[in-house]
Amino acid sequence: METTYIKTPLGIAAIIGDENGISGISVADEGEISNTIPAVLQQAVRQLNEYFEGKRTTFNFKLNPKGTEFQQKVWKGLLDIPFGKTCSYMDLSKKLGDVKAIRAVASANGKNPLWIVVPCHRVIGSDGSLTGYAGGLWRKKWLLEHENPSNQKSLF
């Protein structure tokens, strides 16, 4: 397993993976930036940088997250939420076939090991509120605004 650390507008991202795919992407407020990027992580690093530069809306590198069968199902469901769009935990539960599983869906969402790439930040409360986010609500707000910037110009 290889690890590299890159600077992003939201902190230092740790990218973990091997020839089987990327198994983890997380963010921290501080840390050492890597001087070299292992070959198996280069595509993920390039695509994440393109995302932050506003040049990418989807990712196509190989993913290999570790989780239960249910967590995998939820994470796969998250991949279907389009760039610039959001859905509620209730909507996601319905889509996955069990409206009563809303708490389990929320829990699996919170355990998502692939920050940004599996877009758990696109899941919001039924009332439109920004609910729980492992990386902090300020990061969730930033990501949603990055993906759907307001086009309104100042009137003054």
Name the residues annotated as catalytic: 120
DSSP-derived 3-state class of residue 103: helix
Contact 72, 64 (CB under 8 A): no
Read off the amino acid at residue 70.
F
In the beta sheet, which residues pair with residue 5?
Answer: 14
E strand or H helix at 23? strand 21-28
Q: In 3D, which of 135, 154, 153, 151 has the Cα closest to residue 143? A: 135
Contact 76, 67 (CB under 8 A): no
Q: In 3D, which of 29, 26, 21 has the Cα closest to residue 1? A: 21
Contact 112, 79 (CB under 8 A): no
